[in-house]
Each structure stands twice: as structure tokens, then as C-alpha cells.
Amino acid sequence: MRRALNFAPVLILTLALAAAAPALRAQDSRAEIQKRLTAEFKRTKMTADRSDIATAGSVLDLHKDGLLMATTQAIAPPTNTYKNGTISFGFGANMAWGMQLAPANQQTTAIAQRKFVTGEKFWVTDYMVKPDGVVFQFYSDPYNDVRYYCQLKFPFAKNVAPPADEVMKTIEEVITAEADTQEAAPADNAAPAQQAAAQPAAAPKTIGLGQTTDQVVGILGQPQKIVNLGAKRMYFYPDMKVIFTNGKVTDVQ
């Protein structure tokens, strides 16, 4: 008598592989999204007390109204959500934020807050691809000596990561990174090295309050990076940051 074949193990393995396939595809998609984010956005590093910028990264332009930020004195930032073309911070998000603030005896109503609108700019300090969406963290420059921060979540429908192109397109509806303005200085190959060595040492370069942008550029040359925040601009050089307000130097760091 011929023995009957047992297909049960094969069937179980097939079903297990079929069940695991969506999770594997989602994992691959999240990895690709993270790769695209890293290529598009350079993280800004804040100082330990979150009061200033240690290393400048990408400056972002906002294309939607209603992004709620809170003072960096809050132990946790509020988390906004972008869905169906709108940035929102609803009752549930406010409740969740309040629970995060509770250990420090902070209350949402006592925390300084500001809503950012289309055309405003800020820094990106982090971005994370989670199973249920992409989460960004932003920091602003000081407004009346108050620096603000927040998170913005781009949720995945049914907690499944869509293709990276689709995610990046959605993100670009809300934020885009400004192009790096750094320009390489032209090389002067005509001057022999021995002539340069024979030249006397240059006088110290001095930057003072009240100097114009043209004066600073005339002294230091073109900056590595320019951050344009309307009336306020920041010129980044290898060893310093020069801050202009209405076209004149107001701070050097």
C-alpha cells in the first residue's frame, strides 16, 4: 500500500511566508524612506540646554498654516499631525502632551506657545521612521528671546508604510529644505607659492556691531552658509557665526 503524502508542514510554511511578506515589504519601505530623508534633510544639533545651535543643518520652509510649537522650557514638545492636507493639534494630542509634561509639574496652559504659518522658517533636528508614520522634530530661532520646538507626524494609513516616493511627496507638501548657499572660492593658480609665502602677514580681521553685510563680506569673504529669516540673517563661517538684523551686525558667536 502506498503511503499518503503529508502536505501539512509545507502548507504551514507557505502560510507563514505569506503572512510575513507584508511586514517584510513594510520594513524595506521604511528603510528606503529613512534613506531618502537622510539625503534630503541635514540634522541641526542643538546645545545641551537647547538654547542655541551647536551645528547648523537644514533650514526648512513651511508651506502650511497652523504648526503649533512650544517653548523649549517645556520638557516635551507638542506633536502635530499632518493628514488630508491639514496640520492639526487636536484635543487628543493636547491630552497626550499634558501627560508628558505632568512629571515636571508643567501644564499646557502655562507653557508659552506659538503657531507657525506658511512662509516661516525653522531648523530640523531629527526625523524618525516609525511603524505608524514619520516623525520630525523642529526648532525655531528665538522670538522675543523665546525659542520654540515641536514634532510633526506624517501617519501611515493602517500603519503600513507606503512607497518612499509617496511619503516624500506628502512631506514636501508641508516642508522643504532650503538649498545650501555655500559657494566654493575660485582657485588662483596664477600666483606662485613662493610669492604667497613672501607676502607680509595680513592684519587681524575685526567684526563689530553695526557693520553692514557688505562690510562683513568684504572682511571675511563669502560665508559657507546663509540662513535668511526675514529681518534676521545668519552668516556661517568656519570659526564664527555673524547675526544681522535689518542688514547690520547685532551679534557674533
List pLDDT tens digits, range 158-178: 999 999 999 999 999 999 999
Residue 189 has pLDDT above 50, yes or no: no
**Residue 203 — very low, low, confident or very high, per pLDDT cuts 50/70/90?**
low
Residue 6 has pLDDT above 90, yes or no: no
Residue 21 has pLDDT above 90, yes or no: no
CB 101 within 8 A of CB 141: no
**Residue 208 — very low, low, confident or very high, per pLDDT cuts 50/70/90?**
confident
Among all chains, which residue has been given the C-alpha cell 507638542? 78
List pLDDT tens digits, range 222-232: 888 888 888 88
Average pLDDT over residues 49-73: 95
Query: How many Å apart are CA 157 and CA 30, to the nearest integer?
Result: 14
Query: How many Å apart are CA 150 and CA 138, to the nearest integer?
Result: 6
* pTM, two decimal places: 0.65
Closest listed residue to residue 94, CA positions, set 112, 80, 83, 105: 80
List pLDDT tens digits, range 100-148: 999 999 999 999 999 999 999 999 999 999 999 999 999 999 999 999 9
Query: How many Å apart are CA 244 and CA 227, to the nearest integer?
Result: 10
CB 20 within 8 A of CB 152: no
List pLDDT tens digits, range 231-241: 888 888 888 88
